[in-house]
Amino acid sequence: MTDTPVLEARGVVKIFGQHRALDTVDFAAMPGEVHALLGENGAGKSTLIKILTGAYQPDAGELLLDGQPITLRDPLHGQGYGIGTVYQEVNLLPNRSVAENLFLGRQPTRFGLVRRHEIEARARQLMAGYGLDIDVRAELSEFSVAVQQIVAIARAVELSGKVLVLDEPTASLDRTEVQRLFGVIRGLKAKGLAIIFITHFLDQVFDLADRVTILRNGKKVATQPLSALNTTDVVRMMLGKDVAFEHHPSSLSSGARGAVRVQFQNIGRKGMAPFDLAVHEGEVVGVAGLLGSGRTEVARLMFGVDASEGGTFEVDGMPVTIRNPAQAVAAGFGFCPEDRKLDGIFGDLSVRENIIIALQAKLGWFKALNRDDQIELAGRYAEALDIRAANHDMPVRLLSGGNQQKVILARWLAIDPTFLILDEPTRGIDVGAHAEIVRTINRLREEGLALFVISSEIDEVVAYSNRIVVMRDREMVAELTGDAIATDAIVQAIAGTPQEVRA
């Protein structure tokens, strides 16, 4: 390792509208190192990557390549400087051969015709260098994602060869495939490439990376060699919970719980370890865990968005079948999904219709709510949740994110639910609406509803949960109740350090 970083960013700033996505961040990748880049959603990882590869231009600060300042117009320009990127979704042509993918855009030609045999020979040679003995004439889509990733890496290294950015390359790989990929990456590292590695899997970071840079809310928290850190340190820096924060309300830890409202037993499917969970009347079960830990998958299984392979559901002691969301709604479940725009709101329908739609779906086609009923219901829940809309006939897409979230919440309150699942209910909404939603969660708990709330904000989860389930690697690994609910314990459970799993 030399002292000059091969690629360096100094004080880069990127502003989107009012939002500082990156605030004077320094970053340096040394030749022959694997440099992990960590941070929760919205921390600024992808913005930094896009600046490093030329997809974005920084609003302030500079980029240096081998100590020389450079300006990148676009990723192609960055590629010319030796900066290559491989994304999570393989960015190649699935219906062309491996060889064609490797040499696309720079095929060796003779008299303007592609020299197929030469391409294939060179592709075979190249793949052998990565330890792959595959038929390079076969379509790319015939191979596993791991092989496709390696092909993408090979192409990126061929094209650039100085800096390789890997954006969540392991997200869809199984363990052996990950090891295979890591072998390839270690080989490239030995050749002196600087490798920037982005992932949500901490064990992979410790397995592969030499140094780590942690971002939070657009700012750099630290750059440190991983040998000096343990997972707890990393999680704490990612979540920024080293400061003391709001104490868990005492009324919650009293342990007074009502009867069991919903019970999940042995619910799971491929890629998600089966879980058991009972949620009581007047109880909020909070879910903590990093992105990709299986938080959303649990919610989707509970609501029948993904059908569980085996297992049983019980509501108030009676077994129910939940294989699709309609059955979940019939059982009195409600679900505010993580992606509001895609899975939540009906943008062109009115605020009123968005509020009554789940109740209408539950009532069936023929028991139509008439206009007066709809106006009354929408008015009642809009008032209860303080939904700010000029009128309830306007399309819901014109509302702010926070108000849209309240509309979805109102939709589920209108069915008078027994069990409510909230997946990141406060993500991407303004501070006022944020506080309002947290207050609503507390109020619903007091009114006796059973809730299951997923959030990346640990202090938020601590503030309203009676019980916290910690998830790691698509498994529920710890459960904290009463006085055990403390940020430190959660952070340690997320990190998976041994003494906390027992907590």
Binding site for other proteins (CB under 8 A): 303, 305, 324-326, 328-330, 335, 337, 342-349, 352-353, 357-358, 360-369, 371-372, 375-376, 379, 382-383, 389-393, 395, 411
From the CB of residue 3, how many other CB atoms can be counted at a distance below 10 Å? 6
Q: Are 379 and 298 in contact (CB under 8 A)?
A: no
- Min dist. Cβ of residue 420 to other proteins (A): 13
- Min dist. Cβ of residue 439 to other proteins (A): 20
Contacts of 376 (CB under 8 A, 6+ apart): none
CB of 210 or CB of 343, closer to other proteins: 343
- Min dist. Cβ of residue 143 to other proteins (A): 25
CB of 133 or CB of 348, closer to other proteins: 348
Characterize the bridge pairing of strands 283-288 and 467-472.
parallel
Q: In this structure, is the dihedral angle defined by the CA atoms of residues 399, 40, 344 and 461, taken in order, positive or negative?
A: negative
- Min dist. Cβ of residue 425 to other proteins (A): 14
From the CB of residue 388, how many other CB atoms can be counted at a distance below 10 Å? 13
Task: Pull the structure tokens for residue 237.
Answer: 């820096």
- Min dist. Cβ of residue 384 to other proteins (A): 11
In whole angstroms, give the CA distance from residue 444 to residue 482: 19
- Min dist. Cβ of residue 418 to other proteins (A): 14
Q: Which residues are 398's β-sheet partners?
A: none
CB of 175 or CB of 371, closer to other proteins: 371
CB of 154 or CB of 407, closer to other proteins: 407
- Min dist. Cβ of residue 209 to other proteins (A): 36
Q: In this structure, is the dihedral angle defined by the CA atoms of residues 452, 454, 458 and 463, taken in order, positive or negative?
A: negative
Cα 430–chain centre separation: 20
CB of 259 or CB of 363, closer to other proteins: 363
- Min dist. Cβ of residue 299 to other proteins (A): 11
CB of 138 or CB of 363, closer to other proteins: 363
Contacts of 211 (CB under 8 A, 6+ apart): 30, 33, 34, 35, 36, 223, 224, 225, 226
In whole angstroms, give the CA distance from residue 263 to residue 96: 49
CB of 140 or CB of 378, closer to other proteins: 378
In whole angstroms, give the CA distance from residue 285 to residue 124: 53
DSSP letter at 138 equals: S
CB of 103 or CB of 303, closer to other proteins: 303
Characterize the bridge pairing of strands 7-16 and 60-65.
antiparallel
- Min dist. Cβ of residue 387 to other proteins (A): 9
In whole angstroms, give the CA distance from residue 66 to residue 79: 15
Buried b or exposed e, range 269-299, using 16+ CB within 10 angstroms: beebebbebbbbbbbbbbbbbbebbbbbbbb
In degrees, to the nearest 5, what angle opens at C-alpha 470 toward C-alphas 466 and 476?
115
Q: Which residues are 452's β-sheet partners?
A: 285, 421
CB of 114 or CB of 326, closer to other proteins: 326
- Min dist. Cβ of residue 367 to other proteins (A): 7
68: three-class secondary structure by DSSP: strand
- Min dist. Cβ of residue 451 to other proteins (A): 17
- Min dist. Cβ of residue 397 to other proteins (A): 10
CB of 104 or CB of 307, closer to other proteins: 307
DSSP letter at 249 equals: P
Segment holding 85, helix H or strand E:
strand 83-86
In whole angstroms, give the CA distance from residue 206 to residue 192: 20
CB of 175 or CB of 367, closer to other proteins: 367
CB of 263 or CB of 350, closer to other proteins: 350
In whole angstroms, give the CA distance from residue 411 to residue 451: 15
